Structure 1
Amino acid sequence: MNKLIATLIAGLFATAAFAQTPATAPAAPAAVKAEAKEAKTDAKATAKETKAEVKAEAKTAKVEAEAKKDVAVAKADEKADKADAHAKAHKTKAKAHAKAVKAEAAAAPAPVVTK
């Protein structure tokens, strides 16, 4: 009976020792979980940076487009002003020519018609 009790006690110690070894195994999933959380945080930070860069590029493109539009409007205004000045000069020249013709007609004596 002593052998039987000794075997049972040895078996009890063996099962107790075996039951305690998996206790360290859950620590590994915690490390994996921490790594996954860190990877998720890094991914979020990268996505945030990328989003900020895209937003900045879009804003820059919008400002450039507005600047180009302003330049185009300024050029169109300049062209219109130039056309107006040209038309005004042409009108002034036409008036001057008409005035000169009228003055020349007034200065010249009327032709004498003989019958």
Structure 2
Amino acid sequence: EEKRREAKRREAKRSEEKRREGKRSEAKRSEEKGSEAKRREAKRREAKRSEEKRREGKRSEAKRSEEKGSEAKRREAKRREAKRSEEKRREGKRSEAKRSEEKGSEAKRREEKRREEKRNE
């Protein structure tokens, strides 16, 4: 009877230890699983953050590019306007020179006519 009780007690002790060991390893697995989940979550957040950063970089690059394009267009328009007004100025000078020449020719013609009339008198 004593041996049987002792064997039963040892068996109970052994199974209790086995149960505790099972609980410990389950807790360990659970913790590792939690750590793994946290690690994955941190990795996911980091990937999301870097993707947003990349997109922001692309947006600001596009904005700079557009502003640069607008600036180039503005300079081109200014250059064309300067060219047009320079051409207008030159045209004005040519017309003035032509008028001046015609006026001179007209004066010479009148002077010639006057001399001719004077000779005829």
Category of TM-score, reference length = shorter chain: 0.7 to 0.9
Q: Which residue of 1 aligns with 2:103?
A: 98
Q: Does 1:53 align with 2:58?
A: yes
Residues 23-53 of structure 1: CA distance to partner in whole angstroms, max 9, x if unpaired? Answer: 3211111101000011111111111111111
- Report the equivalent of 1:16: 20
Following superposition of structure 1 onto structure 2, how do residues 71-110 of structure 1 map, counting pairs within 5 Å?
71-109=76-114
One-letter identity of the residue aligned with 1:48: K
1:64 CA displacement: 1.5
1:43-95: CA deviation from partner (whole Å, max 9, x where unpaired)? 11111111111222222222221111111111101100010011111111111
Give the secondary structure class of the aligned counterpart of 1:108.
helix
Q: C-alpha distance in 1, partners of 2:29/2:85?
A: 85
Deviation per residue, 1:85-111 (Å, 9 max, x gap): 111111111111111111111111365
Amino acid at match of 1:13: E
* TM-score computed with the length of structure 2 as normaliser: 0.76
TM-score by length of 1: 0.79
Any gaps of 5 or more consecutive residues in structure 1? none
Segment of structure 1 superposing worse, 58-67 or 89-98 = 58-67
* C-alpha displacement of 1:19: 3.6
- Asked if residue 38 in structure 1 is aligned to residue 46 in structure 2, the reply is no
- Deviation, structure 1 residue 17: 3.8
Paired letter, 1:57: A
